[in-house]
Amino acid sequence: MVESKALFIRPELLMQPQLVKPLHGLAPRTIMGQAWWNKTRQKCYAENNYHCFACGVHKTNAKFHKWLEAHESYEIDFDKRQYRLIEIVALCHACHNFIHAGRLQALYEKGQISPNKYREVHAWGNDILFFAGLDKSKAWWTAPDIQAKLLPETNGTWEGWHLLFNGTKYYSRWKTYEDWKNFYDGIDED
């Protein structure tokens, strides 16, 4: 089998900030439904000849799993407390887990992934960024004033957070950090 080449590689995708907790569980896929999500993600996978947008690996050579995963990429306005969907991107499992470092940390702490996988995912993403000349510690969202806005559980900014999608504002389903914590503490993730 002759494998096609990636049309592009965008390691800067690995520099995305974490999704703020008030917007957990709120995504275009949940708004539009599974049929829309399946069609959208399949189109996304084909867009780069079934290669990860961030690292360029073909799905058949991907680390951990031989498939791609779809990820929502957002434009963030912290002053408006708004995430706006920019695009859906295709990522290998390792790159997707690197972007969702908070979730990865939670799975590790619960013993649901091995220490080896935890280290490998971080090494994978860090190597990609290093070879691309990117430094995640210098990303725009690492500034102290932005970091405070990323942690609404400590500064009481849950009210008003929303996802702007197709011209409609979708607000957080959580009123407080305690609501969020009670929900997610009861879920076993795999």
Encode the chain in three state secondary structure: CCCCCCCCCCHHHHHCCCCCHHHCCCCHHHHHCHHHHHHHHHHHHHHCCCECCCCCCEHHHCCCCCCEEEEEEEEEECCCCEEEEEEEEEEEHHHHHHHCHHHHHHHHHCCCCCHHHHHHHHHHHHHHHHHCCCCHHHCHHHCHHHHHHHCHHHHCCCCCCEEEECCEEEECCCCCHHHHHHHHHCCCCC
pLDDT at residue 189, as a whole number:
45
pLDDT at residue 143, as a whole number:
77
pLDDT at residue 54, as a whole number:
98
Q: 12-56: per-residue pLDDT in tens?
A: 999 988 788 888 889 999 999 999 999 999 999 999 999 999 999
pLDDT at residue 176, as a whole number:
83
Q: Output the tens digit of pLDDT for each of the chain's 190 residues.
A: 556 899 999 999 999 887 888 888 899 999 999 999 999 999 999 999 999 999 999 999 999 999 999 999 999 988 888 999 999 999 999 999 999 988 899 899 999 999 999 999 999 999 999 999 999 888 877 777 777 766 666 556 678 889 999 999 999 888 888 888 888 876 654 3
pLDDT at residue 150, as a whole number:
67
Reading the block at residue 53, the tokens are 């947008």
pLDDT at residue 175, as a whole number:
83
pLDDT at residue 157, as a whole number:
64
Sorted by sequence, the CB contacts under 8 Å of residue 94 that are 6+ apart come out as 55, 62, 63, 64, 120, 121, 124, 125
Instruction: State the pairing for strand pair 168-171/82-92.
Output: unpaired
Sorted by sequence, the CB contacts under 8 Å of residue 91 that are 6+ apart come out as 13, 52, 53, 54, 68, 69, 70, 71, 99
